[in-house]
Amino acid sequence: MASHLRPAGSSSSANLSSSPSSAFKNETKVVSRLVSVPRKSGLSTWVAGIHSRMQGRRRHVQLHSSNGHHLNPVPLQDDGGLVSREAMKPQERDEVSIHISEDETEGSTLSITVVGASGDLAKKKIFPALFALYYEDWLPKDFTVFGYARTMLTDEELRNMISRTLTCRIDQRANCEDKMNQFLKRCFYHAGQYDSEEDFRELDKKLKEKEAGKLSNRLFYLSVPPNIFVDVVRGASLRASSVYGWTRVIVEKPFGRDSESSGELTRCLKQYLSEDQIFRIDHYLGKELVENLSVLRFSNLVFEPLWSRTCIRNVQLIFSEDFGTEGRGGYFDNYGIIRDIMQNHLLQILALFAMESPVSLDAEDIRNEKVKVLRSMKKLELEDVIIGQYKGHNKGGKSYPGYTDDPTVPNDSLTPTFAAAALFINNARWDGVPFLMKAGKALHTRRAEIRVQFRHVPGNLYRQNFGTHLDKATNELVLRVQPDEAIYLKINNKVPGLEMRLDRSDLNLLYRARYPREIPDAYERLLLDAIEGERRLFIRSDELDAAWSLFTPMLNELEYKKIAPELYPYGSRGPVGAHYLAAKYNVRWGDLSGDDD
- Residue 148 vs 335, nearer CB to ligand LXAUTJHC: 335
* 483: preceding bond cis by omega (within 30 degrees): yes
Query: Among ligand NDP, ligand LXAUTJHC, none, what binds residue 116 when CB lies within 5 to 8 Å by partner kind?
Result: ligand NDP
Task: Name the residue number minimizing CB distance to ligand LXAUTJHC.
Answer: 340
Please choose, out of 252-260, 272-280, 354-362, 555-563, the segment that lies near ligand NDP by the rule CB under 6 A: 252-260
- Residue 211 vs 252, nearer CB to ligand NDP: 252
Rounded Cα distance between 70 and 52, Å, is: 19
Count CA within 13 A, CB hemisphere, residue 464.
2
- Which amino acid is located at 27 in the chain? E
**Binding status of residue 524 toward ligand LXAUTJHC by CB under 6 A:** no
Query: Is residue 456 annotated as a catalytic residue, yes or no?
Result: no
Query: Among ligand NDP, ligand LXAUTJHC, none, what binds residue 340 when CB lies within 5 to 8 Å by partner kind?
Result: ligand LXAUTJHC
Contact 407, 331 (CB under 8 A): no
Element (H, E) at 273: none
Check residue 322 and report its DSSP letter. Answer: S
110 φ, ψ (degrees, to nearest 5): -115, 125
Q: Which of 450, 534, 471 is nearest to 60 (CA)?
A: 534
- Residue 338 vs 433, nearer CB to ligand LXAUTJHC: 338
**Binding status of residue 534 toward ligand LXAUTJHC by CB under 6 A:** no
- Which amino acid is located at 287 in the chain? K
Query: Among ligand NDP, ligand LXAUTJHC, none, what binds residue 577 when CB lies within 5 to 8 Å by partner kind?
Result: none
**Binding status of residue 324 toward ligand NDP by CB under 6 A:** no
Query: Among ligand LXAUTJHC, ligand NDP, none, what binds residue 119 when CB lies within 5 to 8 Å by partner kind?
Result: ligand NDP
CA angle 71/72/73 to nearest 5° reads 115
Beta-carbon count within 10 A of 260 CB: 12
Set 60, 345, 456, 579: catalytic member: 345
Please choose, out of 132-140, 167-175, 219-227, 496-504, the segment that lies near ligand NDP by the rule CB under 6 A: 219-227
Q: Which of 321, 280, 288, 338 is nearest to 479 (CA)?
A: 288
Least Å from the CB of residue 256 to ligand NDP:
12
- The length of the chain is 597
Q: Which of 290, 324, 318 is nearest to 596 (CA)?
A: 318
Residues from 327 through 356 that contact ligand NDP (CB under 6 A): 331
- Residue 96 vs 228, nearer CB to ligand NDP: 228
Contact 59, 78 (CB under 8 A): yes
Q: Which of 347, 111, 365, 129 is nearest to 249 (CA)?
A: 111
Query: Among ligand LXAUTJHC, ligand NDP, none, what binds residue 476 when CB lies within 5 to 8 Å by partner kind?
Result: none
Contact residues for 358 (Cβ-Cβ < 8 A; gap 6+): 365, 366, 368, 369
**Binding status of residue 224 toward ligand NDP by CB under 6 A:** yes
**Binding status of residue 196 toward ligand NDP by CB under 6 A:** no
| Pairing mode, strands 447-454 and 435-440 | unpaired
- Residue 180 vs 539, nearer CB to ligand LXAUTJHC: 539
Contact with ligand NDP (CB under 6 A) among 151, 165, 261, 460: 151
CA angle 116/119/122 to nearest 5° reads 80
Task: Name the residue number minimizing CB distance to ligand NDP.
Answer: 119
- Residue 71 vs 250, nearer CB to ligand NDP: 250
The SS3 of residue 89 is coil
Rounded Cα distance between 134 and 144, Å, is: 11
**Binding status of residue 340 toward ligand LXAUTJHC by CB under 6 A:** yes
Contact with ligand NDP (CB under 6 A) among 73, 119, 128, 571: 119
Please choose, out of 25-33, 92-100, 115-123, 479-487, the segment that lies near ligand NDP by the rule CB under 6 A: 115-123
- Residue 62 vs 343, nearer CB to ligand LXAUTJHC: 343
**Binding status of residue 333 toward ligand LXAUTJHC by CB under 6 A:** no
* 358: preceding bond cis by omega (within 30 degrees): no
Element (H, E) at 368: helix 363-375
Number of H helices and E strands in the chain, helices first, is: 18, 22
The interface mask with ligand LXAUTJHC, positions 270-289, x = CB under 6 A, is -------------x------
Active site residues: 345
Name the site residues for ligand LXAUTJHC (rule: CB under 6 A). 283, 321, 340, 448
Name the site residues for ligand NDP (rule: CB under 6 A). 116, 118-122, 149-151, 223-226, 228, 252-254, 331
